[in-house]
Amino acid sequence: MWLRVDPRLSVPVYQQVVDGIKAAIASGLLRPGDRLPPVRELALELTINHNTVAKAYQELERERVIEVIRGRGTFVAARPSGRPPDYEERVKTLQDEMRRIWIEAYHLGLDADTVQEMFRAAAPGAKDAKEGTGDAVGRRGEIADEDA
Amino acid sequence: MWLRVDPRLSVPVYQQVVDGIKAAIASGLLRPGDRLPPVRELALELTINHNTVAKAYQELERERVIEVIRGRGTFVAARPSGRPPDYEERVKTLQDEMRRIWIEAYHLGLDADTVQEMFRAAAPGAKDAKEGTGDAVGRRGEIADEDA
DNA sequence: CGTTTGTACTATGCGTAGTGGTACACATAG
DNA sequence: CTATGTGTACCACTACGCATAGTACAAACG
């Protein structure tokens, strides 16, 4: 299974589901149009409550990451479709988290270049190549899968 | 005041205090040996409970960021003194957060180069110059002028 | 001694996360 | 039409963390 959750972690289980699915999409494991497991089925596999899965799906739908069709199922949405809701806010949050990382790195005594390198290495592409011209984050390789 | 907290935010107040003080140190606003306000005094200024401030101070002491002397006060510790406790764990957490940022950036439709640039801009040094050889994060020379 | 400081403790309120169970609304297939 | 599969909406309940409030204790210092 491409998803695992751990109730002992401090991050909420439903958030782990959200993050996991987003990661699977960003890495190309899930592609636009792919169908996600039904809430009850996924709940069974993860040994959590179906309400928890539902909460995750609702958050993902709110972020336009998936599309939900009542009675049919949930599907991976067709790409970062335009500007998701709260775009500005989320970018700001991203910047805040970046600053927080730098501060944390400082208190760990990490070298600035090391931090930069760590960040590059954390990218979904996960390669040392530079090549970085203009294509979207993740899935550098077979990026030509716009809609499905 | 170099510290503000907002109880409406989802991040806990005591954590905001921790982060704020760490930021103040990383930016050079607070320097090793500087004395922090007494718990009750800071609690008054921030309009929070003294227990909350105490919790923040305890966390900061656990991370070797400050030093506490009963009856005297709390002081900024003398630099990232060697390896703080949970060093390995915290580095791993840092890497997790970096991956999370990349994933979030992907779903916001951000360009990889843009993300890299955002990250560089979020550094405590906050300049566009490169110069970044080998010195620790933040406080390169004199340049620390970030708010907190 | 008394003051200043951090710490410890108890009690209380509050919000969120998670579970468990049930019921409803919609889509599709027979 | 019914039956099934799907997401959704409730409800009740538990557990935990955050924060407050008040009080008391412990260590340092003059």
A69 and A94 belong to one structural domain: no
Region B71-87 average pLDDT: 88
Residues sharing a CB contact under 8 Å with residue A6, sequence separation 6 or more, in sequence order: A16
B100 and B125 belong to one structural domain: yes
| Number of structural domains chain A divides into | 2
**Does the structure show a pLDDT above 70 at A65?**
yes
Residue B116 lies in a domain: yes
B94 and B118 belong to one structural domain: yes
| Per-residue buried b or exposed e for A33-49, using 16+ beta carbons within 10 Å of the residue's own CB | eeebbebeebbeebebe
Residue A45 lies in a domain: yes
A17 and A71 belong to one structural domain: yes
Stretch 85-144 of chain B: residues touching chain A, C-beta under 8 Å: 87, 90-91, 94-95, 97-113, 115-116, 118-120, 122-125, 132-138, 140
- Cβ contact B144:B138 at 8 Å: yes
Residue A132 lies in a domain: no
Domain range for residue B70? 13-76
Q: Which sign, positive or negative, has the C-alpha torsion B118, B124, B128, B130?
A: negative
3-state secondary structure of B70: coil
Mutate to test the interface with A, among B119, B145, B146 (most CBs of A within 10 A): B119
pLDDT at res. B129: 44
Question: Dihedral through CA A74, CA A75, CA A81, CA A84, nearest 10?
Answer: 30
Residues sharing a CB contact under 8 Å with residue A20, sequence separation 6 or more, in sequence order: A2, A3, A4, A5
B114 and B136 belong to one structural domain: yes
User: Secondary structure of chain B: what % helix, strand, coil (to 5)?
Assistant: 45, 10, 45
Q: Which of residues 41-100 of A touch strand D (CB under 7 A)?
A: 41, 50-51, 54, 57-58, 61, 68, 70-74
Region A17-41 average pLDDT: 97
B97 and B47 belong to one structural domain: no
Q: Using one digit for the tens of pLDDT, what is the confidence trace for B8-32?
A: 999 999 999 999 999 999 999 999 9
Of the pLDDT bands very low, low, confident and very high (cuts 50, 70, 90), residue B142 is: very low
B58 and B108 belong to one structural domain: no
Question: Phi, psi (5° rounding) for residue B66?
Answer: -130, 165
Q: What is the mean pLDDT of chain A?
A: 88
- Cβ contact A28:A139 at 8 Å: yes
Residue A115 lies in a domain: yes
**Does the structure show a pLDDT above 80 at B145?**
no
Interchain CB distance below 8 Å, A116 and B115: no
Interchain CB distance below 8 Å, A118 and B98: yes
Nucleic acid strand C: bases within 7 A of protein CB = 4-10, 16-22, 25-28
B71 and B17 belong to one structural domain: yes
Residue A39 lies in a domain: yes
Pairing of strands A73-76, A35-36: antiparallel
**CA of A40 vs chain B CAs: smallest distance (Å):** 26
Of A98, A124, A137, the CB nearest to B122: A98
pLDDT at res. B133: 43
Residue A5 lies in a domain: no
Q: Using one digit for the tens of pLDDT, what is the confidence trace for B111-130?
A: 999 999 999 999 987 554 44
Domain with residue A50: its CATH number is: 1.10.10.10
Pairing of strands A66-69, A73-76: antiparallel
pLDDT at res. B148: 31
pLDDT at res. B85: 87
In the Cβ-directed half-sphere of A54, how many Cα atoms lie within 13 Å?
Answer: 5
B62 and B119 belong to one structural domain: no
Residue A8 lies in a domain: no
Tokens read off for A75: 């599907």
Interchain CB distance below 8 Å, B26 and A102: yes
A27 and A70 belong to one structural domain: yes
